[in-house]
Amino acid sequence: MRQESHAKERLLDRIREDRLVTRRDYLRLLVTVSGGLLAGTAAVASGVFRRHGEGATESRKVANDVAVGESFTFSYPGEDDPAIGVRLDDGSLVAYSSVCTHLACAVLWIKASGELECPCHDGLFDVRTGEVLAGPPPRPLPRIELEERPDGIYALAVTR
Amino acid sequence: MNQWHGRRDPSGSARDHPDVAASLNARIAVVALIIVCQLWALTAALDAWLGGDTGAVWWLLGFQVLAFVSAVVISRAAPRS
């Protein structure tokens, strides 16, 4: 009888041990999470996340001409870097990455309002500066420097 | 009197030592606070990186290293039962 009770007690102990997590286990888990966050930040710093315009080293012709108030789309510096250019009312040219800084939807030129709009979440950008005017985008649009030459419009570089 | 009669307490050795338990609880709280700060630093670093502010990313990485080392030291310095 006594032997049976002892065996039962041992079984209960084993079940309890399997289920319980000690304070030290919690502490070890938290330190592991801390190391993971450090690794994540190191990955960010090492350039795992690609930024628009990285590797832009040379100028490229992106359009022949564009009328006042009209827009044109192009890719710069790579084929996977969509951009949008606009000829403003005063005749100046501006261009930005057309990838919204919120969730990467395409940014469109709305001629009626004179703003760049991301239709996915109603993000609005100032067409003269690329700054966020409204909506959830956290950062301005990367700006693409343009130059007008006799034979067309050239993209020169990407600035943030 | 120890209710486990010399056998290992399945809830961990801290049960029999309230001072050790309190110390471990405090360490867990401090490391959890460090992790909250690290979460902020990670999001700030990603935002700075995508915004082109590379200098801020390196500062935040330095902060992360400091925070992780602090967490390890706090964990390693926990009293033994």
The domain total for chain A is 2
The vertex-A64 CA angle with A109 and A127, nearest 5°, equals 25
pLDDT, tens digit, 9 for 90 and up, residues A63-111: 998 999 999 999 988 888 899 999 999 989 999 999 999 988 999 999 9
From A57's Cα to the closest Cα of chain B, the distance in A is: 16
Asked casually if ipTM beats, i.e. exceeds, 0.90, the reply is no
Alpha helices in chain A (DSSP H): 2-19, 23-45
Tell me the count of A-B CB pairs closer than 8 A.
102
Q: How confident is the model at residue A18 (pLDDT cuts 50, 70, 90)?
A: low
Residues A66 and A102 in one domain: yes
Distance set, CA A50 to CA A1, A13, A105, B49, B50 (Å): 71, 53, 16, 9, 8
- Is the minimum CB–CB distance between A38 and chain B shorter than 8 Å? yes
Residues A40 and A67 in one domain: no
Residues A84 and A154 in one domain: yes
